[in-house]
């Protein structure tokens, strides 16, 4: 019995005895519901609601079944008892306001069960997960790679690279049906995530890192690719491209059309040229639009001291109190362009390079014209 020191003891045990009337029949009812739930998930084809595109999807659905069966069974018991007890042990009209319910302490049998059962449930779920995930991700690393394709995340779209096709493929990602595929995903700017619900696989696309997805296509169709990592203002519309799984002949025709289309495309990664940029015909209006897309996350149009990540840029070219740039050079358009080209590492952190910000030379000219127009 709990007692608060110094307070007068006014206690009235609930008049309801033990676990309450009807506890065991009610437990029987919950058990019936839990069994019905398990039966439902054992027999229902999940692909009725969720189409599958690759073989591993079916295996992952088996795992979903286990999780849904166990999780919903627990939900039925926990919620069922919560409702049952709150009705049976509700405060009666004539109860004093400080009446307590039945106090159960040191019930070793109960404590044993609520330790053993969840432990078994967690071990079961882990075992089921490892059994499905190990062959998909780890053991398959030693099997032939099949068709190796790359996908690169950008703000806010995906591009693809195929062996034998120059440069990058845009639009939808095509794959032949019935083929093992290794998909290497990465990103050019921020962290994105490559998710095709019909594959049941999801992988982060991280700049500077290649993550691997392995699967075998097994159903012709068009399946949406969705970015599931918040990646900037247009993240929400990064779901407009499809994985198109098609018969081999159709895939071959699509593949050939890109070989022709990209025949002269370059495979070289974008390079920062060492030559200074021609700033003569930059447009301040175009620069303003670019600034809001590419720079405003890190820079305010405000005085130098108004820092976000980097300093405020309002007076960067016309502030007598700011004669030198952080690069140590005088504040001139050419020296600002130099920072936009090569980036800058200093006490504020890292200003990204032209390639990391995905800026063309013309973009830089426009941005410098815009910064120059701010007085």
Give the other-Cβ count within 10 Å of 133's Cβ.
15
The β-bridge partners of 244 are: 174, 222
Do the strands 157-161 and 147-154 form a parallel or antiparallel pair, or are they unpaired?
antiparallel
- Of 146 and 311, the one with the shorter C-beta distance to ligand HEC is 311
**Looking at beta carbons, which pairs linking 22-27 to residues 24 or more positions away fall under 8 Å?**
22/88, 23/84, 23/88, 26/80, 26/84
If contact means CB under 5 to 8 A according to the sort of partner, which of Cu ion, ligand HEC, none does residue 57 touch?
none
Residue nearest to ligand HEC (CB): 346
Residue 18 vs residues 104, 278, 324: alpha-carbon distances, Å:
9, 87, 81
Can you give the binding site for ligand HEC, defined by CB under 6 A? 294-295, 297-299, 304, 309-311, 313, 316, 325-326, 336, 339-340, 344, 346-352, 357, 359, 367
Structure tokens at 129: 């997960």
- Strand order across the 241-246 sheet: 173-176, 241-246, 221-227, 192-196, 201-205
106 or 281: CB nearest ligand HEC: 281
Residues 6 or more apart whose CB falls under 8 angstroms from that of 27 comprise none
Question: Which of residues 63 and 374 has its CB atom nearest to ligand HEC in the complex?
Answer: 374
Judged by beta carbon, residue 53 or residue 238, the one nearer Cu ion is 238
Nearer to ligand HEC, 137 or 356 (CB): 356
**Rounded to the nearest whole angstrom, what is the least distance from the CB of residue 193 to Cu ion in the complex?**
7
- Could you tell which of ligand HEC, Cu ion, none binds residue 311, using a CB distance below 5 to 8 A set by kind? ligand HEC
Q: Which of residues 25-84 bind Cu ion (CB under 5 A)?
A: none
Q: Which spans in the chain are helix H?
A: 23-43, 55-88, 108-133, 248-261, 284-294, 333-342, 361-373
Q: How far is CA 80 from CA 40, 83, 274, in A?
A: 19, 5, 70
Q: What φ, ψ does residue 106 adopt, rounded to 5°?
A: 50, 45
Cα(38)–Cα(47) distance, integer angstroms: 17
Minimum Å gap between C-beta 224 and Cu ion is 14
**Residue 86 binding target from Cu ion, ligand HEC, none, CB below 5 to 8 Å by type:** none
**Bridge partner residues of 144 (DSSP):** none
| Closer CB to ligand HEC, 72 or 355, in the complex | 355
Shortest reach from residue 268's CB to ligand HEC, in Å: 23
Listed residue (192, 159, 154) closest to 357, CA to CA: 154
CB 160 within 8 A of CB 149: yes
CB of 375 to ligand HEC, least distance (A): 16
238 binds, among Cu ion, ligand HEC, none (CB under 5 to 8 A by kind): Cu ion
Sketch the per residue contact string, 205 through 244, with Cu ion: x for CB under 5 A, - otherwise: ----------------------x---x------x------
Residue 74 binds what, of ligand HEC, Cu ion, none (CB under 5 to 8 Å, by partner type)?
none
Selection from ligand HEC, Cu ion, none that 157 binds (CB < 5 to 8 A by kind) is: none
Look at strands 241-246 and 221-227 and give their pairing: antiparallel
Query: Smallest distance, Å, CB 299 to ligand HEC?
Result: 5
Q: Which residue, 99 or 308, has its beta carbon nearer to ligand HEC?
A: 308
- Of 65, 154, 192, 200, the one binding Cu ion by CB under 5 A: 192
Task: Closer to Cu ion by CB, 52 or 241: give it.
Answer: 241
Window 234 to 293, contacts with Cu ion (CB under 5 A) = 238
Distance in Å, CB of 344 to ligand HEC, minimum = 4
Q: Which is nearer to Cu ion, 157 or 348 (by Cβ)?
A: 157
For the CB of residue 74, give the shortest distance to ligand HEC in the complex, in Å. Answer: 44
Question: What does the alpha-carbon distance between residue 188 and residue 292 come to, in Å, rounded to a whole number?
Answer: 19
Q: What is the nearest approach in angstroms of Cu ion to the Cβ of residue 153?
A: 6
What phi, psi does 169 have (nearest 5°)?
-100, 135
Name the site residues for Cu ion (rule: CB under 5 A). 192, 227, 231, 238
């Amino acid at each position: 019995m709990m007692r608060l020191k110094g307070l007068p003891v006014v206690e009235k045990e609930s008049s309801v005895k033990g676990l309450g009337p009807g506890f065991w029949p009610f437990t029987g009812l919950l058990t019936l519901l839990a069994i019905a739930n398990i039966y439902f998930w054992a027999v229902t084809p999940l692909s009725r609601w969720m189409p599958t595109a690759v073989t591993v999807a079916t295996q992952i659905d088996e795992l979903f079944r286990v999780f849904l069966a166990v999780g919903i069974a627990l939900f039925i018991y926990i919620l069922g008892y919560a409702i049952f007890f709150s009705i049976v042990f509700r405060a009666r009209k004539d109860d004093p306001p400080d009446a307590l319910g039945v106090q159960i302490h040191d019930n070793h049998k109960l404590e044993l069960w609520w330790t053993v059962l969840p432990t078994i449930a967690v071990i079961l779920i882990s075992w089921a997960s490892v059994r499905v995930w190990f062959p998909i991700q780890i053991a398959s690393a030693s099997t032939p790679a099949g068709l190796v394709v790359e996908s690169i995340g950008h703000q806010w779209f995906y591009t693809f690279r195929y062996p034998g096709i120059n440069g990058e493929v845009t639009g939808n990602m095509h794959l032949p049906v019935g083929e093992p595929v290794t998909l290497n995903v990465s990103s050019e700017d921020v962290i994105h995530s490559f998710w095709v619900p019909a594959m049941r696989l999801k992988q982060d696309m991280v700049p500077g890192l290649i993550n691997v997805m392995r699967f075998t296509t097994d159903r012709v169709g068009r399946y949406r690719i969705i970015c599931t990592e918040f990646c900037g203002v247009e993240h929400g519309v990064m779901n407009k491209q499809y994985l198109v799984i098609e018969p081999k002949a159709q895939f071959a025709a699509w593949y050939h059309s890109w070989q022709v289309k990209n025949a002269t495309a370059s495979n070289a990664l974008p390079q920062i040229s060492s030559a200074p940029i021609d700033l003569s015909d930059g447009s301040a209006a175009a620069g303003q639009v670019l600034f809001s897309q590419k720079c405003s996350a890190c820079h305010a149009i405000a005085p130098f001291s108004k820092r976000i990540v980097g300093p405020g840029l309002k007076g960067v070219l016309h502030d007598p109190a700011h004669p030198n740039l952080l690069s140590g050079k005088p504040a001139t358009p050419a020296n600002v362009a130099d920072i936009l080209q090569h980036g800058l590492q200093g006490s504020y952190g890292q200003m990204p390079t032209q390639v990391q910000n995905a800026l063309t030379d013309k973009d830089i000219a426009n941005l410098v014209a815009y910064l120059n127009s701010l007085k």
